[in-house]
Amino acid sequence: MKGKKTVEVSVMLDWANAQLARTDVEANASYKAGICDMLYVVLSKSNNYKGFRYINPEVIEYLSLGYFSRIYY
């Protein structure tokens, strides 16, 4: 039996948003930056990019953990 070769964009969006909302020590700024980069490409290439919002807009210093803690639409 062949494996599935595609995944729905909405599944990736839900998974990525869950990762970006994590607060444990493994979900640091570098980890979340990678998720943001991956998700931006997936959403842009599939014409599904609709922006994002910061989870806590009061702590969004550039390249900080708060900067990458976001929810994509």
Mind listing the pLDDT tens digit for each residue in 18-60?
A: 999 999 999 999 999 999 999 999 999 999 999 999 999 999 9
Predicted pLDDT at 1: 66
Q: What pTM was estimated for this model as a whole? A: 0.88
Q: Report the alpha-carbon distance of residue 32 to residue 52 in Å, rounded.
A: 14
Long-range interactions of 52-61: CB distance < 8 A, separation 24+:
55/20, 55/21
Q: Report the alpha-carbon distance of residue 27 to residue 3 in Å, rounded.
A: 29
List the structure tokens of 58.
């009061």
**Phi-psi label, residue 47: left if phi above 0, alpha if psi -120 to 50, beta otherwise:** left
